[in-house]
Amino acid sequence: MRKLLLGLALGLALAVPAAAQNEPAKKKASDAITLPTPAQIKQLTADPVEFKLVGEDDARQLVLTGVLDAGGLQDLTGNVQYEVGDAKVVRVTSAGRVMPLANGSTTITARYGDKSTTIKVAATSMDEVIPISFANHIVPIFTKLGCNSGGCHGKSGGQNGFALSLLGFVPELDYRALVKENRGRRILPSSPDNSLLLLKAAGIMAHAGGKRMELGSDEFKLIRRWIASGTPYSDGKDLEVKKITVHPEQRIISRNNRQQFSVHAHYSDGSIADVTQRAQYESNDPDISVVDATGLVRALDMSGEAAIMARYQGQVATFRATVPLGVKIPSYAFEEKTVVDRFTKKKWQELGIVPSNLSSDEVFVRRVYHDITGTLPTPKQVSAFLADKNPNKRDKLIDHLVETPEYSYYFANRWADVLRVRRGNQAVRAFGNFAFHNWIRESIANDKPYDQFAREILAAIGDESKAPPTVWFRDLRQPEQFVDDACQLFLGVRVACAQCHHHPYEKWSQDDYYGMAAFFGMIGRKAAPNLGLVIQNQNQARQIIFNKGTGNVINKRTGKPAIMRALDSDPVELSAGEDPRHRLVDWMVDAKNPFFARAVANRYWAHFFGKGLVDPVDDMRVTNPPSNPELLDALAQELIKSKFSLKHLVKVMVKSRTYQLSALPNEFNKADKKSFARYYPRRMTAEVLYDAVSQVTASPATFAGLPTDKYAPNRALMLPDEAFASYFLDVFGRPQRISACECERVSEANLAQVLHLLNSQEIQGKLTRAGGRAAQLAKDPRSDTDKVNELFVWAFGRRATQGQMDVALANIERNAKNRQLAYENIIWALINTKEFILVQ
Amino acid sequence: MLTFTGAKQAFCDGLNRRNFLKIGAFGAGLTLADMLRLQAQASNTPGRTAPSRPKSAIMIYLPGGPTHMDTYDLKPDAPAEFRGEFTPIQTNVTGVQISPLFPLQARMFDKFAVIRSIVTVNEHSDSLVMTGKSSRDNMTANHPSFGSVVSRVRSGQAHSAPAFVSLRGMSRGTEPGFLGIQHRPFATNGPGIQNLRQLTTVDESRLNDRRAMLQSFDSLNREVDANAAGLDTFTTRAFDMVASGGVRNALDLNREEQQSRTRYRGVEQFLTARRLIEAGVGCVTMSYGGWDTHGQNFQAMRRQLPNLDKGLSLLVGDLHQRGLLNDTVVVVWGEFGRTPRINRNAGRDHWPAVMSALVAGGGLRVGQAVGSSTSRGERPQDRPLTAPQVLATLYRAIGIDPAMTFNNGTGRPIHIVDDRNPITELL
């Protein structure tokens, strides 16, 4: 988000000179494409075909489209010639913006060669002084120019003593700051041009934020007129923007091509205004498409999809640009195995790209063991799979793997990360953590319906010995914490911003936020002693969670008790004694809920495909749409139809042909980053890597604080919480579980990790352990070739190449006196390769 | 042989905080993306040499909260039950007086500045002064420490030394919080440092042997993973680091001249801190002494202040002499001041209403006292300041914009300091 803000700030800093700055880019983009000739166009269409402009500040953005003979659409807004019937009434810029000049009505004819279309326009109220609304006319200027951004006057406390509400979400405060504060020195109605506001913003007087607007620009004139008319707050109508819409909503545009779109604000009285010039824009993938301050989108050289966010007055909408590769592609066969394949294939066809080949059995078996169980297959498991002649052996293996204990441990680890199963430094929490972890693991092993899983956590009552999910209530205490975690975790939305101000990239307001918080306002806690233990402080007590039946949460904005209301829903009336958390869960798990099933489908997708359909996984919002919305909907439906069976969800994903594609790109999909036309390889996580190293070296883990008998957990993935000290796990990014965000687990490589695998006492100890793999193999009577091949299968799931075999055998030869040394070297080299640490 | 273990300090809340020169483990905070970026930069900038010397910080924490009344803010005119046993001495800066147990600093006070009007919270924790948020706030905020922010900011830059080293182990005030575990400090006895030493069982020829085999095994098709080249660079660099020693040498005081070691006898941590800064570390944090003097305050001062005086004057003097002081900002402080009125055990209790902090270097305007407390040292007289404001000033001194933001776990951009109006007198 920082990048986004920065981008906004930069974009805005250049707001006025932006046009000039972007000029070369524009030229380059239009140079790079060949527009269709008029003969290639079947028809020229305009949006809108008829409209009215009211008052001198009104304006309208036209969008002109050529319907191609060959199929497809071409934006021609900036390429047609505009002719106005009566040039006294309106004028049209070459970019298709229409502005009124005098009352009257006329027509605009747009011509592209021999094709043309005619638009009717009327201008009225040009001779009236239309009252100005501070909230609807002035505040959006501050937003567009960046005055109220988080880096400037919009930050809490403001900038140099002048504070505006963030992005103008609270106009009353802005009005007070401008007109009343500092004895009104910022505004001078008697001499508007000498108002500090204009002097600073136009750069006439020194302004740390620089020049934000041109003297005499539309914005300048509007603010000036507002000051001159006595700084009214209201225009007598007090309209509210109910939503904004973009036109068109989506287009397929060729590489380096462009598309103008327009933005309309829909007000509470039903009126609609064109706000294309006043909205703010941001592309979610600037490698694919960029947008300027006028809503003109330019596709770049890469194919893919981008969502262009438009924001105006707390409302957001997106324009989707699909940019196909646009080269001739070979035909290919792609068998649809699950619902996944239908929609991935559709996407590849839209984008004009070709999926990679099916992965080999050797690659697949290592991948699927890793992704479902968090372990690498043993040589025995690999050869059994390779030898199996059953054509359905992949499905068979998948069905088997989701029934293994390893599957439940792996996913329990992932869920425990985000459910805050952590000890901190409180030893007393160990008991509850073990219980909660075990509860999660059993839920996964038994395929507890996911709606029930969520309910048992969110609405838990009792103490951790009987209701382990109450452990979740250890870290979370305030209603706000529950809102943040519950929304991020179970709904895949990050609403925390809306605690203190309107969400900058969503429609969520503080009222929406506290509506959710109210569901958590009746949670009661009491402390009971752990039997036989004297309580020394509150943390050592046994915690009992119950429903108080009363209680509310204060809405920070209104200072009054919040109205209990789920996102986008009606207020909830409770009956006496009812636990509101159950009402919240009822809403969540309803088949029509737009968040719940999608959120978990997306989370699991990210696990198996390396990246969420919405990325990051817990940041679903209008302005961050899924890369394949139909696919996400279909997965959510699969889940709902299966009564929330997560195992079913896993199978739908993993049995798909898409999942089983090779990681090796072809010339058509090598730039693909989010349509899953190949398997995106990824690094093993800390625990998985640790266990893999232990397995390859035959040197199982021991962790202080656990039993040491043969039933004790001997894999890092089995650990219930984060409190088991391990430099290895920490350096490879094991999370501390201090948030509900998967992002806490860092998967990026760093130098300290490389050093640890290359040159640590820990790894050396595992390599040289008595009875470890190297020691076993040194004594093993089989041929060295067999043994080296077996090591390669342990590490890579495949046998050594001839060259690799020669190098390994030469090393054994050199260490003939102490073959264990040679095997240590070979294992060391294997676990330090990229092929080992990557799953492909 | 290095021994870093210092005395155990018992605090009044019954907890022991080990005051040891432990350095541990993390750090090589350079991430893959950074590495790739650096490579790209290097290839785009022909003839580019090593980057200019980065700015650094030394955060000296005085655990327990030292009394302002007997260190940097003496009140000779206050009644006896306030002023205590010490009569201040004049420093070489006109009008600034400090404890008579600080003669060495007094002689070079033109290189220091004291801030006498900081208001803090009543918490035995380095949280507020190192992260800008109280320990209580950090239960939920998980705000990163100063050093972790330095580590995060530096992660995109080409320094071979770890960005953040703690000579005092881990505490709330060294935690990376939401910046992520890779921005934890290196600890001197942790595996991170040990991994830089050649293993005794793997001599050079065996390591080379292994390396050659690794190259032959590492045959992953580069098209599969775009990051492959970056990972190879890490491997090369890791081998180089093992061979050269780097920061490990900085920690080995035996490499320091005998004369210098003699000068620092008893305050070796200050020498280690200096050597780490010379080796290019971005932020060193260390602690000195135990200052929770509910009883026998004056004895404790007589015992500890001369050594603190020696350590600080040597450190700042050496940094100056080596031309490093302008690029290294130093701060010395505890968690709060102590009660101006002496209690019946000749001690002073917690006093968050006002405390002092000492700063030096970093191009700050030194040779002055900023702010003042009331005549009995009870609260700020003018210019009440906060610990975050001091942090904001330190960030600016080392070239980090205090208004910088990083996203926390909920995706919210969080400023590295909230209360970031810097102390203009120092800039």
- The answer to whether the CB of A122 falls within 8 A of the CB of A105 is yes
Q: Are residues A472 and A574 in the same domain?
A: yes
Q: Are residues A179 and A287 in the same domain?
A: no
Which distant-in-sequence residues (6+ apart) come within 8 Å of A286 by Cβ? A7, A306
CA distance between the termini of chain B:
42
The separation between CA B45 and the C-alpha centre of its own chain, rounded to angstroms, equals 33
Final residue in a domain of this structure, among A542, A571, A589? A589
The separation between CA A116 and the C-alpha centre of its own chain, rounded to angstroms, equals 43
Question: CB contact, 8 Å: A752 with chain B?
Answer: yes
CA distance A752 to chain B (A): 5
Among residues 125-154 of chain A, which lie with CB inside 8 Å of chain B?
A: 150-151
pTM confidence score: 0.80
- Interchain proximity B221–A764, CB inside 8 Å: no
- The answer to whether the CB of A800 falls within 8 A of the CB of A789 is yes
Among residues 333-392 of chain B, which lie with CB inside 8 Å of chain A?
A: none
Return the HEC string of B127-138. Answer: HHHHHCCCHHHH
**Under DSSP, is residue A686 helix (H, G, I), strand (E, B) or coil?**
helix
Cβ-based neighbour number of residue A591 at 10 Å: 12
The confidence score (pLDDT) of residue A116 equals 93
Q: Are residues A702 and A781 in the same domain?
A: yes
Question: CB contact, 8 Å: A494 with chain B?
Answer: yes
Question: How far apart (Å, rounded) are the C-alpha atoms in residues B154 and B164?
Answer: 10
Cβ-based neighbour number of residue B268 at 10 Å: 18
- Interchain proximity A738–B192, CB inside 8 Å: no
Q: Is residue A253 part of a domain?
A: yes
Which residues of A fall within a CB distance of 8 Å from B164?
none
Q: Are residues A220 and A139 in the same domain?
A: yes
The confidence score (pLDDT) of residue B364 equals 96
A11-24 pLDDT, tens digit per residue, is 333 333 333 333 33
Residue A470 CA neighbour count, 13 Å, CB half: 21
A367-412 pLDDT, tens digit per residue, is 999 999 999 999 999 999 999 999 999 999 999 999 999 999 999 9
When scoring B217, B222, B233, B389 by the number of chain A Cβ atoms within 10 A, the one with the most, hence best to mutate, is B217
Retrieve residue A161's tokens. 């003593």
Which residues of B fall within a CB distance of 8 Å from A616?
411
CA distance B106 to chain A (A): 37
The confidence score (pLDDT) of residue A145 equals 87
Q: Is residue A386 part of a domain?
A: no
Q: Which helix (H) or strand (E) holds A405?
A: helix A405-418
The confidence score (pLDDT) of residue A534 equals 66
Final residue in a domain of this structure, among A589, A613, A640? A589
Which residues of B fall within a CB distance of 8 Å from A764?
199, 201-202
Cβ-based neighbour number of residue B209 at 10 Å: 20
Question: CB contact, 8 Å: B427 with chain A?
Answer: no
- Interchain proximity B26–A758, CB inside 8 Å: no
| A129 phi and psi angles, rounded to 5 deg | -90, 110
% of chain A surpassing 70 pLDDT: 95
The confidence score (pLDDT) of residue A247 equals 94
DSSP A157: T
Query: In terms of DSSP bridges, do strands A50-54 and A258-260 run parallel, antiparallel, or are they unpaired?
Result: unpaired
- Interchain proximity B218–A834, CB inside 8 Å: yes
CA A698, A699, A701: angle at the middle one, nearest 5? 135
- Interchain proximity B224–A681, CB inside 8 Å: yes
Radius of gyration of chain B (CA): 23
Q: Are residues A95 and A10 in the same domain?
A: no
Q: Is residue A69 part of a domain?
A: yes
Final residue in a domain of this structure, among A292, A323, A354? A323
Of the candidates B205, B352, B214, which has an alpha carbon nearest to the alpha carbon of residue A831? B214
- Interchain proximity B242–A759, CB inside 8 Å: yes
Among residues 220-259 of chain B, which lie with CB inside 8 Å of chain A?
A: 220-221, 223-225, 227-228, 230-231, 234-235, 237-239, 241-242
Whether A529 shows a pLDDT value over 80: the answer reads no
The confidence score (pLDDT) of residue A215 equals 85
Cβ-based neighbour number of residue A432 at 10 Å: 26
- Interchain proximity A1–B411, CB inside 8 Å: yes
- Interchain proximity B238–A150, CB inside 8 Å: no
CA distance A567 to chain B (A): 18
B192: nearest CA in chain A? A752
Q: Are residues A565 and A419 in the same domain?
A: yes
Q: Is residue A302 part of a domain?
A: yes
When scoring A750, A768, A813 by the number of chain B Cβ atoms within 10 A, the one with the most, hence best to mutate, is A750
DSSP string, A102-142: SSEEEEEEEEETTEEEEEEEEEE-TTS-PPPPIIIIIHHHH
Q: Is residue A739 part of a domain?
A: no
- Interchain proximity B231–A2, CB inside 8 Å: no
Residue B50 burial by Cβ neighbours in a 10 Å radius (0-12, 13-18, 19+) = exposed
Q: Are residues A157 and A90 in the same domain?
A: no
CA distance B198 to chain A (A): 7
CA distance B216 to chain A (A): 6
Range of the domain at A446: 408-589
A746-800 pLDDT, tens digit per residue, is 777 777 788 899 989 999 999 999 999 999 999 999 999 999 999 999 999 999 9
- Interchain proximity B190–A825, CB inside 8 Å: no
The separation between CA A683 and the C-alpha centre of its own chain, rounded to angstroms, equals 20
Q: Are residues A9 and A95 in the same domain?
A: no
Question: How far apart (Å, rounded) are the C-alpha atoms in residues A383 and A372?
Answer: 19
Cβ-based neighbour number of residue A531 at 10 Å: 6
Question: How far apart (Å, rounded) are the C-alpha atoms in residues A686 and A694?
Answer: 12
- Total residue count of chain B as it appears in this document: 427
Q: Is residue A364 part of a domain?
A: no
Question: How far apart (Å, rounded) are the C-alpha atoms in residues A531 and A535?
Answer: 10
- The answer to whether the CB of B294 falls within 8 A of the CB of B348 is yes
CATH number for the domain that contains residue A58: 2.60.40.1080
Return the HEC string of A506-548. Answer: CCCCHHHHHHHHHHHCCEEEEEECCCCCCCCCHHHCEEEEEEC
- The answer to whether the CB of B74 falls within 8 A of the CB of B85 is no
ipTM of predicted assembly, 2 dp = 0.77
What mean pLDDT, rounded, does chain A reach?
Answer: 89
Question: CB contact, 8 Å: A761 with chain B?
Answer: yes
CA distance B169 to chain A (A): 14
A470-496 pLDDT, tens digit per residue, is 999 998 989 999 999 999 999 999 888
Q: Tell me how far CA of residue A470 lies from CA of A129, A433, A465, A525, B370, in angstroms.
A: 63, 10, 9, 10, 51
- The answer to whether the CB of A15 falls within 8 A of the CB of A220 is no
Whether A179 shows a pLDDT value over 90: the answer reads no
DSSP string, B381-423: EE--EEHHHHHHHHHHHTT--TT-EEE-TTS-EEES-SS----
- Interchain proximity A752–B28, CB inside 8 Å: yes
Q: How many domains does chain A have?
A: 5
- Interchain proximity A829–B213, CB inside 8 Å: yes
- Interchain proximity A804–B219, CB inside 8 Å: yes
The confidence score (pLDDT) of residue A7 equals 37
Question: CB contact, 8 Å: A832 with chain B?
Answer: yes
- Interchain proximity A734–B181, CB inside 8 Å: yes
Q: Are residues A115 and A159 in the same domain?
A: no
Query: In terms of DSSP bridges, do strands A50-54 and A90-92 run parallel, antiparallel, or are they unpaired?
Result: unpaired
Which residues of A fall within a CB distance of 8 Å from B222?
none
Question: CB contact, 8 Å: A160 with chain B?
Answer: no
> Of B199, B230, B410, which is closest to A764 when you measure between CB atoms?
B199
Q: Are residues A147 and A48 in the same domain?
A: no
Among residues 102-121 of chain B, which lie with CB inside 8 Å of chain A?
A: none
- The pLDDT profile of chain B, 427 residues, written as one tens digit per residue, is 232 333 333 444 433 333 322 222 223 344 555 545 544 444 444 333 334 567 999 999 999 999 999 999 999 999 999 999 999 999 999 999 999 999 999 999 999 999 999 999 999 999 999 999 998 888 778 899 999 999 888 875 545 677 888 898 778 899 888 887 778 888 776 777 778 778 888 888 898 899 999 989 988 877 887 767 667 777 777 787 777 666 778 888 888 999 999 999 999 999 999 999 998 889 999 999 999 999 999 999 999 999 999 999 999 999 999 999 999 999 999 999 999 999 999 999 999 999 999 999 999 999 999 999 999 999 999 899 999 999 999 999 999 999 888 888 777 788 999 888 899 999 9
- Interchain proximity B410–A833, CB inside 8 Å: no
- Interchain proximity B209–A734, CB inside 8 Å: no
- Interchain proximity B412–A825, CB inside 8 Å: no
The confidence score (pLDDT) of residue B388 equals 96
- Interchain proximity B140–A481, CB inside 8 Å: yes
CA distance B15 to chain A (A): 13
Which residues of B fall within a CB distance of 8 Å from A738?
142, 177-178, 409
The confidence score (pLDDT) of residue B122 equals 93
User: CA torsion A299→A301→A306→A312, rounded to 10°?
Assistant: -40
| Beta strand residue intervals within A577-691, DSSP E | 682-683
The confidence score (pLDDT) of residue A701 equals 83
Which distant-in-sequence residues (6+ apart) come within 8 Å of A626 by Cβ? A602, A613, A614, A620, A632
Q: Are residues A420 and A564 in the same domain?
A: yes
A647-691 pLDDT, tens digit per residue, is 999 999 999 999 999 999 999 998 888 899 999 999 999 999 999
Of the candidates A280, A298, A255, which has an alpha carbon nearest to the alpha carbon of residue A24? A298
**Under DSSP, is residue A68 helix (H, G, I), strand (E, B) or coil?**
strand
Which residues of A fall within a CB distance of 8 Å from B230?
749
Q: Is residue A154 part of a domain?
A: yes
When scoring B138, B189, B195, B215 by the number of chain A Cβ atoms within 10 A, the one with the most, hence best to mutate, is B195
A208-239 pLDDT, tens digit per residue, is 778 888 888 888 888 988 998 888 998 888 88
- Interchain proximity A835–B191, CB inside 8 Å: no
Which residues of B fall within a CB distance of 8 Å from A743?
409
- Interchain proximity A488–B410, CB inside 8 Å: yes
Q: Are residues A429 and A571 in the same domain?
A: yes
**Under DSSP, is residue A795 helix (H, G, I), strand (E, B) or coil?**
helix
Q: Is residue A367 part of a domain?
A: no
- Interchain proximity B225–A2, CB inside 8 Å: no
